Amino acid sequence: MNNHERHPAPPSYRGRELPRPEDELQDQGLGFDVVTLLDRRKLLGAAGLGLLGLGLASCAAPEAGSGASSSQASSGTASASGTTADAATASGSAAGMDGAELTEIPDETAGPYPGDGSNGPDVLEQSGIVRSDLRSSFGESSGTAEGVPMTLELTILDLAAGGGAFKDVAVYVWHCDRDGNYSMYSEAVADQNYLRGVQIVNEDGVVRYTSIFPACYSGRWPHIHFEVYPDRDSITDHTQAIATSQVALPQSACDAVYATAGYERSVSNLAQVSLDSDNVFGDDAGAHQLGATSGSVADGYSVRLTVPVDTRTEPTGGAAPAGGGQ
């Protein structure tokens, strides 16, 4: 036997050994996905291209049957005709942009349907969760959430470092669909994982998601959940979240969306709740969590919120509240 016989090199991608050599490239796991995403961002940055959008699109696989085009929903700017801009802007939304004093985002419940492993299903362990377009399911699921297009933009600021951009932290976002159902939990969509996704904050502290406008279900003001994680390696451990909160949606946008087909049940549900009476936003009427919106039903809505995070304080959110709050 030749002691100098060479063994074939293990399968690799761009110099990195595949953790699951028997599987396809897109099935190598979340950790491999995140490193690939960041590597591609560096390449795009070196070429003078935008980090966000191009980098994210090149990392995520195309999602079939996703309804309205990503470019339409993620533009963040509606056409001049028929455009509405909500007058109510959260104090946090302008903070940091004009020197205003920053207030830490309130810690809130993750509700009973987080999908982060703290209450049953764990989507954060699934390859494909790092993506910008949340409308379609991925992996073994293939459904698509229908509804009025919505772009969500969160700007994450680091209060412990003077309020600058909190770059490279990971943000997990999830919300209900047009019928008020949560994928992976609600019986009608238990086999789906849509309207859930992770993005890595860019150098400006920004993450953007393309989604659909969520419903108003009984007992809660319309909202979007999110968790902030300190780095790419901590995404799969829900106990590592440094902030858990929710975005409140302005009533003017809700009224316009809920007047369209498919959102009929949201009309009566919204009439029975207010920001003051909501069991999450009611302590301050969502003063620091109310997103600023622009757009229209025809062109889609853009929702924006600035999220100051203070790692010097102990996180108190995350757990589902007593009484079934969501």
Distance between CA atoms of residues 61 and 142, nearest Å: 13
What pLDDT does residue 323 have?
Answer: 46
Q: What is the mean pLDDT of residues 236-262?
A: 97
The string of DSSP codes covering 16-33 is EE-SSTTS-GGGS-HHHH
Angle, helices 251-258/264-271, rounded to nearest 10 degrees = 140
Q: Decide if pLDDT at 100 tops 50.
A: yes
How many C-beta atoms lie closer than 10 Å to residue 71's C-beta? 9
Distance between CA atoms of residues 182 and 84, nearest Å: 28
Superfamily of 12-309 according to CATH: Aromatic compound dioxygenase (2.60.130.10)
**In the structure, what pLDDT confidence band is assigned to residue 136 with cuts at 50, 70 and 90?**
very high
Distance between CA atoms of residues 82 and 296, nearest Å: 6
Q: What is the mean pLDDT of residues 235-256?
A: 97
What pLDDT does residue 34 have?
Answer: 52
The larger pLDDT score, comparing residue 50 to residue 177, is at: 177
Q: Compute the mean pLDDT over every residue in the chain, rounded to the nearest whole number.
A: 80
What pLDDT does residue 82 have?
Answer: 34
